[in-house]
Amino acid sequence: MKRPILYITTSIVFLLLAVSFLGGTVFWRLFTGYEDLNIDGRPEIARTAVPVFADQWPSYGGDSGGSRYSAADQINLDNVEKLDVAWRYQTGAFEGREELIKRTAFEATPILVEDTLIFCTPFNDVIAIDPGDGHEKWRHDPEVALDGRPANDFTCRGVAYWKDQTATTERCASRIFMGTVDSRLIALDAKSGSLCAEFGEGGEVQIEPSISLRWPGEYQITSAPAITGDTVIIGSAISDNLRTVAPSGVVKAFDARTGAEKWSFDPVPRHPDDPARATWEDGSADRVGHANVWSSMSVDDERGLIFLPTSSASPDFYGGVRPGDNLYTNSVVALDGETGEVVWHFQTVHHDVWDYDVPAQPGAYQVWRDGKAHDVIAQVTKTGLVFVLDRETGEPFLPIEERAVPQGGAEGEKLSATQPFPVNTPPIVPNTVSPDDAFGITLWDKNICAAKIKKLRREGLFTPPSTQGTLVYPFTGGGANWGSAAFDAARNLLIVNMSNAGHAITLIPNEDAADITEVKDGAEIAPMEGAPYAMTRALLASPIMLPCTPPPWGVLAAVDLESGAIVWRKTFGTTRDLAPFGITLKTGTPNFGGPMITASGLIFIGAAMDNYLRAFDIESGEELWKGRLPAGGQATPMSYEWQGRQYVVIAAGGHGKSTTTPGDYVIAFALPEE
């Protein structure tokens, strides 16, 4: 054991000397062959008025379409370096729950409504604080079950706001809605935090799954509800890979006043008359579950449409029990907000066997082309691809084509021969790697990584899972994930952060997997009951737990949605809080959380596995500032102007599965007061 440790220590010293001598960016370009991308000469477009606001942030994604854009512009390129902490608030969420810290993720983005910042903790405490100094106004503890082993840890990304235009009394005339980890939909008075007793049963609606659960946390709600008109809509998060006959991912809509159910939509088409049922051969739609909407939905109030990002059917990594393309899974689905009827749909992955859910909020943006505004849906994906669709019809706004993909799945599998690819926008992160590309800081760990890669099937994106073991690259965490993207309509620029790492997925024949009876998240083992295989999933990493795939392991990119061109792409994140002794290397890191944009041309983002909130120039991708956080910033920031001062706010509480620093902070940054 001593010799490998000596090798590692020596290699780190060598690495630091090399970085110091060559300079970090130059060194990593030599080491990995990767270069940050900048395209010069992008044509200017006419700057247009953008219908956003500086003194509000009324939805989880900034607006109902998920632009994550603020008209606030007091903080700009010239003064951003002066940002400092204006106030900090601690939720106290871990008091009495200390043993659960490693099973939480503080992913919340506050909303600003009723002159108040409102957000949820991982345990679904809803807290209202003052936007100017962070003092607490009210809080509501729904007392969620703590013994439920929630499928996605204890997580709450956000709350939703609704105002009753016909209210005759002040109480509950404006409401905060939240879904919980024990699958309740809760309505609170926005001014006091008290339950709205006329909603459901005493202010709550219990969401019942389609079949009995194996344990209480198998089914939960983690993302903010969507609101359209007087309707509140929720999805669900369900434990993957336990079983084929699993809870269905039904999306449910309720009357915002009474809690009465208005409609439901199952992305797995159960009704014989649904035309999507033809894409499930042999009636297989009756034998599976999931396809749930676990991420954030978007709304187009003018058209009365709600846009769902659906996930894969159960189980994730074997589809022989569900032959066909499997609509409406892995799709953007546009529903009529009043009836729940399908208006259009677009599938990003046919017959998914890679856990390539649509993970991010569909971006309802307005793109300018040839002097004309076009309403689109822009969808970022785990595969690193970006699809841009016409919002009215779902037809491609930027061209998309079907391309042949690897075949030869496991016995009994029936893969799609092709998959959709955008024509104009190349993948944001790579999807192929060879043993010669293996990363290592020494010859020892590089060779181990090369051997791991060599053993795996690795024919590029959509290589099918196998008993040999398959490289799934990007890994099942993305590419993009729930942090979604941000959009600047005045520049036509989509900003997205993505991870760049690989998973080794191995199918285990049932006769060799008799002892695999439950999902073991720590070991990434799952039985996939009802399929002829169990599965294992492991990060493709070296003995010192660095990714075997070459850096950067995280990127931030800008895409021009008029043309589809990648305007710039930059390495995102450092090893500051990962490596021993605070060693800081510009390798990029996997990242969870998303970006937001201000009218002054700044991008703010946490997300990376070092504890910083950063600001970038939207035109060039240059990093202009970073502020130290007391815990991991695996959340999406927001910004607003309050009493003449602009604030940038982020939840800093870490992410259990990413092993970032835990905490319970909400931090506000601002310029010094004059």
Given 125, 355, 488, 610, the catalytic residue: 355
Helix (H) or strand (E) holding 272: none
Nearest to 336 by CA among 306, 309, 296, 302: 306
634, 663 contact by CB (below 8 A) = no
Say how far apart CA 314 and CA 654 lie, in whole Å. 29
Q: Which residue in the block uniquely carries the two structure tokens 């910042």?
A: 117
Burial class (CB in 10 A: 0-12, 13-18, 19+), 146: middle
Say how far apart CA 371 and CA 386 lie, in whole Å. 23
Q: Which residue in the block uniquely carries the two structure tokens 């006043």?
A: 257
Active site residue 274: no
Strands 595-598 and 69-70: parallel
> Helix or strand or coil: residue 244?
coil
Please name the amino acid found at residue 403. R
Spell out the alpha helix ranges (H) of 347-442: none
Nearest to 668 by CA among 603, 595, 592, 604: 604
Say how far apart CA 413 and CA 645 lie, in whole Å. 59
Please name the amino acid found at residue 363. G
- Contacts of residue 450, defined as CB under 8 A and 6 or more positions apart, other chains included, come to 435, 436, 438
Q: What single-letter DSSP state applies at residue 457?
A: B
Examine residue 315 and say whether the peptide bond preceding it is cis (omega within 30 degrees of 0). Answer: yes
- Looking at the annotation, which residues are catalytic? 355
